[in-house]
């Protein structure tokens, strides 16, 4: 794909109109700035393909946390949403963490304001709080253990059988974990606006059309979608299943940008995004992830802004719950991707 910003286009003021300044090749400039800044670019599977292609490492939430904790770069350019970049800052406070667009939030984070979460905790003092990583740093600071969708089951299975559990903020992921582990959990009422949009009716129609195609779903989907799935797991697990299962056609019920990695690694297979209510999978693009673009990545590397900050007292408390996750998750397997 040609990512040149031409002098006549000037969407970001890179090339003043009519001055004859050569077009900026964003890929080249990003590579140059990355070297100059000693930066590493991390990207989530839900980012647009151009950002995945330019990243040093592409992964799920757990892989990205591990990479952020282990990198020796001075700057982490995070192509993902804000809570992910905050995790990088919490784990690597001495590094400069930048996010192409500071407005790249998450509906799950929005559903769980820290004061309300603290009240929820106080109302259930005998419960441990397992909190999905899709939340603010302040909520992490109020939590006992952070989990991702790829690590949650393993972590829950390490808790004593009589330990009472609160799970926030994703009620669908919580309900799925509760069914899988047989543990009773008190669930926060939050959802992902992206995974909620898949339509059971449209998915049934698609399955009728491709009866042999397995359905791969993320556990952020409601139970009615998960009931139709052959495989349920985090993005890394979905990718791994898609690559290792021999079926030539598969239906993917998660954010459709992950299909880019599937097509890169298995170009001979067909991956169909599960549809929303209008029969079109386009409505399942994450609007927050979509705020990050190649142009904004270039600008944030150039200006070292927007920069992620986390108040030190919050960071230290959030670090405890994140470190517990990293310890308890151990070596949950991930798909080998570029940069490993």
**Taking CB under 6 A as the rule, which mask of x and - marks residues 232-251 in contact with ligand 13P?**
--xx----------------
- Does 61 bind ligand 13P (CB under 6 A)? Our answer is yes
From ligand 13P, ligand SF4, none, which one binds at residue 167 (CB under 5 to 8 Å depending on kind)? none
CA neighbor of 215 nearest in space, from 227, 231, 235:
231
CA distance 36 to 61: 27
From ligand SF4, ligand 13P, none, which one binds at residue 264 (CB under 5 to 8 Å depending on kind)? none
The window from 114-122, 159-167, 262-270, 283-291 that contacts ligand SF4 (CB under 6 A) reads: 283-291
- Does 220 bind ligand 13P (CB under 6 A)? Our answer is yes
CB 238 within 8 A of CB 271: no
Identify the residue among 149, 199, 261, 292 touching ligand 13P (CB under 6 A).
149
CA distance 82 to 100: 10
- Tell which positions 187-226 bind ligand SF4, by CB under 6 A: 192-194, 220
H/E stretch holding 8 reads: none
CA distance 62 to 150: 7
Identify the residue among 3, 226, 289, 322 touching ligand SF4 (CB under 6 A).
289
Sheet order of strands, 39-44 included: 57-59, 39-44, 75-79, 96-98
Can you say whether the dihedral through the CA atoms of 160, 164, 169, 173 is positive or negative? Answer: positive
- Does 131 bind ligand 13P (CB under 6 A)? Our answer is no
From ligand SF4, ligand 13P, none, which one binds at residue 149 (CB under 5 to 8 Å depending on kind)? ligand 13P
CA distance 85 to 88: 5
CA distance 103 to 321: 25
- Does 107 bind ligand SF4 (CB under 6 A)? Our answer is yes
CA distance 168 to 135: 9
The window from 114-122, 174-182, 270-278, 281-289 that contacts ligand SF4 (CB under 6 A) reads: 281-289
Closer Cβ to ligand SF4, 5 or 46, answer by number: 46
Identify the residue among 107, 129, 150, 261 touching ligand 13P (CB under 6 A).
150
The footprint of ligand SF4 (CB under 6 A) covers: 46, 81, 106-108, 134, 192-194, 220, 255, 286, 288-289
């Amino acid at each position: 794909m040609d990512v040149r910003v031409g002098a006549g286009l000037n969407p970001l003021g890179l090339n003043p109109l009519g001055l004859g300044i050569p077009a900026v090749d964003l890929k080249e400039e990003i590579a140059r700035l990355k070297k100059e800044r000693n930066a590493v670019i991390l990207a989530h599977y839900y980012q647009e393909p151009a950002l995945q292609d330019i990243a040093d490492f592409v992964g799920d939430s757990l892989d990205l946390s591990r990479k952020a904790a282990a990198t020796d770069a001075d700057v982490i350019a995070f192509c993902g949403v804000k809570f992910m970049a905050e995790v990088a800052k919490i784990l690597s406070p001495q590094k400069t963490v930048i996010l192409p667009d500071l407005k790249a939030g998450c509906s799950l984070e929005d559903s769980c304001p820290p004061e309300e979460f603290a009240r929820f905790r106080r109302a259930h003092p005998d419960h441990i709080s397992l909190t999905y990583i899709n939340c603010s740093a302040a909520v992490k600071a109020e939590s006992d253990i952070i989990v991702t969708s790829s690590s949650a089951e393993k972590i829950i299975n390490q808790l004593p059988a009589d330990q009472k559990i609160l799970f926030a903020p994703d009620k669908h992921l919580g309900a799925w974990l509760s069914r899988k582990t047989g543990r009773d959990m008190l669930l926060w009422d939050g959802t992902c606006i992206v995974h909620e949009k898949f339509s059971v009716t449209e998915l049934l129609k698609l399955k009728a059309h491709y009866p042999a195609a397995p359905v791969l779903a993320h556990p952020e989907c409601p139970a009615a979608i998960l009931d139709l799935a052959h495989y349920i797991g985090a993005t890394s697990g979905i990718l791994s299943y898609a690559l290792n299962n021999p079926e030539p056609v598969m239906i993917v019920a998660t954010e459709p940008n992950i299909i880019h990695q599937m097509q890169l690694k298995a170009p001979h297979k067909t991956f169909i995004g599960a549809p929303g209510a209008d029969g079109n999978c386009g409505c399942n693009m994450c609007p927050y992830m979509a705020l990050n673009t190649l142009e904004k990545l270039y600008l944030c590397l150039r200006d070292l802004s927007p920069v992620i900050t986390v108040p030190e007292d919050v960071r230290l408390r959030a670090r405890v719950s994140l470190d517990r996750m990293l310890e308890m998750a151990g070596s949950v397997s991930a798909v080998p991707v570029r940069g490993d």
